[in-house]
């Protein structure tokens, strides 16, 4: 068992990483929610067929009254209408403020279930059981929960820290290769922003087999970096912004593909490559960095560029949550392993992008 503690005063929680951990779900949750009687388990239609029975059985053995709330798999489920359906379902189930919500699935399920937990009855406890690599290394840790609006992704949300995060690396074996590599974009991000040695470690393992052999180390390292950053800046007003390396432009690429053509990981990969070029143009990033990031992404089957119109860049940048008035904070690298926030006018960023890309 590998354990990390997110030490937020009054909201501390552990991240547990161990093969076979899914079978211990009931006992582990009972330890952190001793008063809970009911658990609403939110999952998606894909994960339901793979892991819901095992988790529900473990929870029942620990004395919980559970009800499963499956949603259709895919980003389309992360919407206000599905959120309302969960609220109504939780109340019909008889959920009280001493009970809890379990998110069993990838990032969509974690974001949706977490936001439902943050807002129903003015907030109930929730537990993350992430089942994709992207969710394990990123979205399940840190307390950001949200739904998408017509105006863009994650524009209605909250900060609501989980009470526990349970990571079973065995569940990653059922991921398709594209979905696994989608998560590797976020893994590479951690090396880019905080750990050069970790970036080199990943670059030397360009195949799934080699990565899987060291998956516990990969999960631990990513979660440790995110834990440190979240502890420094829980509400994303300063240091935590570095976690958005590749995301400002990545959101434009997701928009360009109408949130269907490009996955989040693919968009982030291309966004990191573009941000590296932007950093070189601004005199912040060394000239060799874009090539190194592009090589690492390409070896993992991730795109190094995605077509995007000036209008799509402008729309994404205008809605970016790191914006403040006419300015925006973009995350750049002054070397691999060290990210820096860089504030600039939105109009200036758009001009730079038009010239570069």
Q: What CATH number does residue 242 fall under?
A: 1.20.1090.10
Rounded distance between C-alpha atoms, residue 121 and residue 97, angstroms: 7
Reply yes or no on whether the pLDDT at 205 is more than 70. Answer: yes
Any idea which residue has 């143009």 for tokens? 281
106-146 pLDDT, tens digit each = 999 999 999 999 999 999 999 999 999 999 999 999 999 99
Kindly state whether residues 52 and 66 are assigned to the same domain: yes
**Strand ranges (DSSP E) for the chain?**
2-6, 13-17, 38-44, 65-71, 100-105, 125-130, 144-149, 152-159, 164-167, 323-324, 327-335, 338-345
Q: Quick one: which of 42, 32, 8, 30 has its CA closest to 116?
A: 42
Rounded distance between C-alpha atoms, residue 193 and residue 183, angstroms: 16
Reply yes or no on whether the pLDDT at 153 is more than 90. Answer: no
Residues 269-294, mean pLDDT to the nearest whole number:
98
**176: helix, strand or coil:** coil
Kindly state whether residues 241 and 346 are assigned to the same domain: yes
**pLDDT for residue 322:** 66
Token duo for residue 205 = 């393992």
44-73 pLDDT, tens digit each = 999 999 999 999 999 999 999 999 999 999
* Structural domain ending residue among the three candidates 144, 174, 204: 174
Kindly state whether residues 24 and 112 are assigned to the same domain: yes
**Whole-number average pLDDT of the chain:** 95
Kindly state whether residues 315 and 352 are assigned to the same domain: yes
Contacts of 91 (CB under 8 A, 6+ apart): 120
Kindly state whether residues 151 and 223 are assigned to the same domain: no
Kindly state whether residues 165 and 20 are assigned to the same domain: yes
Rounded distance between C-alpha atoms, residue 330 and residue 336, angstroms: 16
Kindly state whether residues 20 and 135 are assigned to the same domain: yes
CATH number of the domain encompassing residue 95 = 3.40.50.1970
Reply yes or no on whether the pLDDT at 166 is more than 80. Answer: yes
229-274 pLDDT, tens digit each = 999 999 888 889 999 999 999 999 998 998 889 999 999 999 999 9
Kindly state whether residues 309 and 211 are assigned to the same domain: yes
Kindly state whether residues 220 and 296 are assigned to the same domain: yes
Rounded distance between C-alpha atoms, residue 69 and residue 3, angstroms: 29
Rounded distance between C-alpha atoms, residue 307 and residue 258, angstroms: 12
Reply yes or no on whether the pLDDT at 22 is more than 90. Answer: yes
* Structural domain ending residue among the three candidates 125, 156, 174: 174
* Structural domain ending residue among the three candidates 174, 190, 209: 174
**Range(s) of the domain holding residue 228:** 177-356
113 contacts 78 by C-beta, under 8 angstroms: no
Kindly state whether residues 224 and 352 are assigned to the same domain: yes
Kindly state whether residues 181 and 160 are assigned to the same domain: no
Q: What is the tally of structural domains in the chain?
A: 2
Residues 185-214, mean pLDDT to the nearest whole number:
97
Kindly state whether residues 183 and 149 are assigned to the same domain: no
């Amino acid at each position: 068992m590998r354990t990390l503690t997110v030490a937020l005063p009054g909201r501390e929680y552990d991240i547990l990483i161990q093969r076979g951990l899914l079978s211990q779900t009931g006992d582990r949750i009972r330890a952190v929610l001793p008063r809970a009687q009911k658990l609403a388990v939110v999952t998606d239609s894909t994960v339901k067929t793979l892991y819901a029975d095992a988790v529900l059985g473990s929870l029942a053995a620990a004395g919980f009254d559970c009800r499963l709330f499956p949603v259709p798999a895919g980003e389309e489920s992360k919407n206000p209408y599905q959120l309302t359906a969960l609220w109504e379902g939780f109340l019909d189930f008889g959920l009280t403020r001493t009970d809890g919500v379990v998110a069993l699935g990838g990032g969509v399920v974690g974001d949706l279930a977490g936001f439902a937990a943050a807002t129903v009855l003015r907030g109930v406890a929730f537990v993350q059981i992430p089942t994709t690599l992207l969710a394990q290394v990123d979205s399940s840790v840190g307390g950001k929960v949200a739904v998408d609006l017509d105006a863009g992704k994650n524009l209605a949300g909250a900060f609501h820290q989980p009470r526990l995060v349970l990571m079973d690396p065995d569940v990653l074996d059922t991921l398709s290769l594209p979905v696994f590599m989608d998560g590797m974009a976020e893994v590479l991000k951690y090396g880019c922003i905080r750990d050069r040695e970790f970036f080199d470690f990943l670059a030397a393992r360009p195949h799934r087999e080699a990565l899987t052999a060291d998956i516990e180390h990969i999960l631990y390292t990513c979660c440790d970096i995110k834990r440190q950053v979240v502890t420094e800046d829980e509400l994303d007003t300063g240091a935590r912004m570095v976690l958005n390396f590749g995301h400002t432009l990545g959101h434009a690429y997701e928009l360009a593909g109408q949130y269907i053509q490009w996955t989040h990981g693919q968009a982030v990969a291309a966004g990191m490559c573009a941000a590296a070029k932007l950093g070189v143009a601004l005199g912040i990033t060394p000239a060799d960095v874009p090539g190194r990031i592009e090589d690492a992404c390409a070896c993992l089957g991730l795109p190094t560029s995605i077509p995007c119109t000036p209008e799509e860049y402008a729309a994404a940048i205008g809605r970016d949550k790191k914006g403040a008035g006419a300015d925006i904070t973009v995350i750049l690298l002054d070397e691999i392993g060290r990210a820096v926030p860089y504030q600039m006018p939105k109009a200036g960023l758009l001009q730079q992008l038009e010239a570069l890309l």
